[in-house]
Amino acid sequence: MIKTDLTGALSFIDEKELPGAEDKKALTDLLDGKIGRGGAGWLRLPEDYSDAVSAAIRSAAYQIADNSEVLVVIGIGGSYLGARAALDLLRTPYYNQIKKRTPDIYFAGNNLSGEYLEQVIALIGGRNFSVNYVSKSGATMEPSAAFRVFKNLLDSKYGAEGARKRIYTTTDGEKGKLRQLTDRKGYTSFAIPDDIGGRYSVLTAVGLLPAAVAGIDIDELMSGARDIMNKDKDDVLQYASARQALYRQGKKIEILGCFEPSFRSMGEWWKQLFGESEGKDGRGIFPVYTEFTTDLHSLGQYIQSGERSLFETFVSIEKTSAAIRVPKDGELEDGLETLAGRELQELNRAAFAATKAAHNDGGVPVIQLDVPQLSPYYFGALVQFFELSCAVSALISKVNPFDQPGVEAYKKNMYAILGLQK
């Protein structure tokens, strides 16, 4: 299972304080349902996942794959980040460029750029496509504008009835503008429980439907999440507790780093999860994602020698399937002939160890999270691990992990500029 290694952080904090009594109480209260009403429904998802839920999602995925060469997932924030993370990490960031039996998957509605949307439409071209519109309310500007564009394209290409059969919605089960439209039009739909916020919704149909369309084993994914809930939470608590202990030491920035490029979208989801959950009331650790070794050649200097207001969390993927070796080539004369015959993963592991040691020596605490391998099982486990540790960490710092009042500020200004009513 996922393990928390604090050896790179213990010289900066007192191990005896980890976890503290308040830290343990925060986890216990969360699991006992004493807090988080209206926002902690995600805790039940692994246990509530049933054969019926699995069959309904897989049936829709098969239908999409049967009649469409492309699926467009429309959503912003938690409505798409988890799905994109699963696609990149469990298939490949080049998913749409490889030959496969499953549809290409494009993401839209996560910005207001006309250039971006034109490019997605051009990539679809004349191919058959379906749309998965993900929004609890159906009234968020970015995805709403994109859905109007793609609904118009579907209507023009297939007619109203043909378009209806190609639109899948993931929304509130009872209320909201998208629920009303879904019921009126008869779209195939999946419900987001009312007590689950967007950033905690990866393990609902929000993330599971696109994953299933891509051929990912969603039953295995949920099995990993279930095991996190059923086994002891010591590693979850250690991560949450260490973060807050470092924060009290003035380490106000957390840099999540991974040495696998396919982890990038997972890092983007992690940023939203922790940023929206903790950044309130003038408090919170600022979350940043870095891709190593790439970013060692851009941010590495600052991390090594800049202001000491940060700490790092390294995600270590212990086992990968790659077996590429460095070829021998005597013509290069680059002084690296001794690399010949070595696997790149050996070099990557060496870079991981060297970076952790160098940053520690430079005054940067490093928490290490060990993940056995890249698989649906461990993706689900990591999602549940991060969600639990995030909620506990926020509770330790005395903020509500399940609201995001600051997100509305820019929306009010934008609606005023555009002359719209909110």
Task: Name the residues annotated as catalytic.
Answer: 276, 411
What whole-number distance in Å separates Cα of residue 417 and Cα of residue 213?
Answer: 39
Q: Count CB atoms within 10 A of the CB of residue 294.
A: 13
3-state secondary structure of 12: coil
Q: How far is CA 64 from CA 14, 153, 334, in A?
A: 53, 17, 51
* Number of other residues whose CB lies within 10 A of the CB of residue 326: 16
Tokens representing residue 408 in the block: 């509305």
Amino acid at site 46: P
Strands 3-5, 366-373: parallel, antiparallel or unpaired by DSSP? antiparallel
The conformational region for residue 400 under phi > 0 = left, psi -120 to 50 = alpha, else beta, is beta
Give the span between the Cα atoms of 1 and 224, in whole angstroms. Answer: 9
Cα-only R_g, the chain: 22
**311 φψ region: left (φ > 0), alpha (ψ -120 to 50), beta (else):** beta
What ranges in 214-254 are assigned the alpha helix state H? 218-230, 234-248
Residue 388 near residue 228, CB atoms below 8 Å: yes
- Of 368, 380, 5, nearest in space to 229 by CA: 380
Q: With 0-12 CB in 10 A as exposed, 13-18 as middle and 19+ as buried, what is 189?
A: buried
Instruction: In whole angstroms, give the CA distance from residue 162 to residue 359.
Output: 57
Q: How far is CA 83 from the centre of its chain?
A: 7
**Torsion angle of C-alpha atoms 354, 360, 364, 370, degrees rounded to 10:** 60
Asked whether the beta carbons of 309 and 250 are under 8 A apart, the reply is: yes
The distance in angstroms from the start CA to the end CA of the chain is 45
The C-alpha atoms of residue 242 and residue 236 are separated, in whole angstroms, by 10
